[in-house]
Structure 1
Amino acid sequence: MTRPQPAPPLPDTHATRQALIEACLWMNARHLNQGTSGNISARVADGILITPSGVPYEALTPDAMVTIPLEGLPDGTGGKPSSEWPFHQGLHRARPDMPVVLHAHPPYCSVLAVQRRAIPACHYMIAAFGGEDVPLADYALFGSPELCANMAEIMADRHGCLMANHGSTVLGETIAKACWRLEELEVLARTYLFSSIGGAPHILSSGEIAEVMEAFQSYGPRPAAQEDQR
């Protein structure tokens, strides 16, 4: 498997920190998370910015975001990071092409996670997550080294996963892209659950998903430089 090129870190600025807070507020407002159960992190030049542990999103300020190293234990200064910091750290090391990690407990994703069911290619948008399915990471205690290892392994070639008896996690090239994937994943989970009520959903083939992934390469607006050359 060819690994994507590492992405540059996000700037550690007031705007970036505020955007992380806005992402937390957004996912609760969209009913993709509840309370402070979710968390978000971004790779920056000095390590990883991550939400603090147990602070209501409405009370977060840019200065409250915690910086942890890309490797090793937090040094204990600048606040207590989210209890999920180990798997955030592990994913940032395993996926340097994705500077943003977003974790939440969306209702439909959580139902599938409790049932311990991955999401097969029931819809072409599965391709937005890097492969033919959205896999399920094995259960381990939150914040544990075992969960960290499970997540790093299963997300080696995926942009999102379900977490057994827990919730879901997505990766993003940007904060906005991570939010987009989280909502798309919840829609996929709902579609898969509902399509199983009256029968069995038809699953797209490997070839069909490969076609979608190729088509996604040219999806969206052109970069500004290309627009200027028209």
Structure 2
Amino acid sequence: MADPRAELIAAAQAMRPAGLNRGTAGNLSVRDGDGFLITPTGMAYDDLLPDDIPRLALDGTSAGQRKPSSEWRFHRDLYASRPEVGAVLHAHSPFAVSLACLRVDIPPFHYMIARFGGDTVRCADYAIFGSAELSTAALAAMEGRKACLLANHGLLVAGRDLAEAFALAVELEELCEQYWRACQLGSPTLLSAAEMAEVIDKFRGYGQQ
């Protein structure tokens, strides 16, 4: 059976080549029974070993030789409130950060916005990193969604497992880049509420084998 700590490390190490992170920024977690495993704070992903991965219970208590990411609260709160979530990824990817610094929702300029559960990707209100206030703001922005931007900060996605969380983060950063580029040329034409509702309905069975 695969070691979930090794799988978490492999996913974390893939974030930089995918254009999601640089250095020790961002964090990644995976549900583990009645708790979750999360990347440690302040450690380069390339140097991580399985014993460096702390495990947190849903009450916030930590076990392991390393301190968990300072952002553990929004990971914990997503797992506690949304049983369908199996992995959470937070990144400081360049185009997501650029839009997050404008504190704007990403509108339905492209139908793939529906991939994240609605007709927009919301931007959460600003709060200092690692705080309970940031977690509250993030969960509000992600209500009914698989992703949000964090104001003046970065992106946050929640998937059913590590593979989906990683794919969602890559797709969101790509959409952020496309929206940023389109805005350089003018005001993108947005899809209507009816058009997005049709896409959201079609996505309910999309890609299922």
TM-score by length of 1: 0.87
One-letter identity of the residue aligned with 2:19: H
C-alpha distance in structure 2 between counterparts of 1:70 and 1:134, whole Å: 27
Is 1:59 equivalent to 2:36 in the alignment? Answer: no
After TM superposition, give the deviation of residue 166 of structure 1 in Å.
Answer: 0.4
Q: Which residue of 2 aligns with 1:207?
A: 194
Q: d(CA) in 1 for partners of 2:3 and 2:109?
A: 38
TM superposition outliers: structure 1 runs of 4+ over 6 Å: none
Partner of 2:171: 184
Partner AA of 1:113 in structure 2: A
Distance in 2 (alpha carbons) for counterparts of 1:110 and 1:86: 20
Aligned residue number for residue 45 of structure 1: 33
3-state secondary structure, aligned to 2:28: strand
Residue of structure 2 equivalent to 1:227: none
- Kindly state the Cα deviation for residue 74 of structure 1 after the two structures are TM-superposed: 2.1
Hey, what's the Cα distance between the residues in 1 that align with 2:5 and 2:63? 19
What is the CA–CA distance in structure 1 between the aligned matches of 2:200 and 2:119, rounded to whole Å? 10
Structure 1 match to 2:24? 36
Work out the CA distance in 1 between the residues paired with 2:43 and 2:182: 37
* DSSP 3-state at the match of 1:212: helix
Where does structure 2 lack aligned partners over 5 or more consecutive residues? none
Query: How many angstroms does 1:165 deviate by?
Result: 0.5
Deviation readout 1:134-161 (Å, 9 max, x if unpaired): 0001111111111011112211211000
Q: Alpha carbon RMSD of aligned pairs, Å?
A: 1.4
Would the alpha carbon gap of residues 46 and 63 (structure 1) be closer, same or farther in structure 2, given more than 3 Å must change?
farther
Deviations 1:150-179 (A, max 9, x none): 112211211000010000000111111111
Identify which of 67, 70, 80 aligns with 1:93: 80
Q: Any unmatched runs of 5+ in structure 1?
A: 1-12, 223-230
Please list, as runs of the form range in 1=range in 2, the aligned pairs for 1:93-132 lying within 5 A after superposition. Answer: 93-132=80-119
Structure 1 residue aligned with 2:127 = 140
Counting matched residue pairs gives 209
User: Helix, strand or coil: the match of 2:206?
Assistant: coil
1:36, 1:56 within 8 Å by CA — same for their partners in 2?
A: yes
Conservation of the 8 A alpha-carbon contact between 1:161 and 1:170: yes
* Deviation at residue 46 of structure 1 after TM alignment: 3.7
2:183 pairs with 179, 192, 196, which one? 196
Q: Taking every aligned residue pair, what percent have the same amino acid on both sides? A: 44
- The verdict on how the C-alpha distance between 1:195 and 1:182 changes in structure 2, with shifts beyond 3 A counting, is same
CA shift, 1:77, in A, is: 4.5
Q: CA deviation at 1:99?
A: 1.1
Q: Determine if contact 1:39/1:50 at 8 Å carries over to the other structure.
A: yes
**With structure 2 as the length reference, what TM-score do the two structures score?**
0.95
Q: Quick check: 2:52–2:64 contact (8 Å CA) kept in 1? A: no
What is the match of residue 17 of structure 1? 5
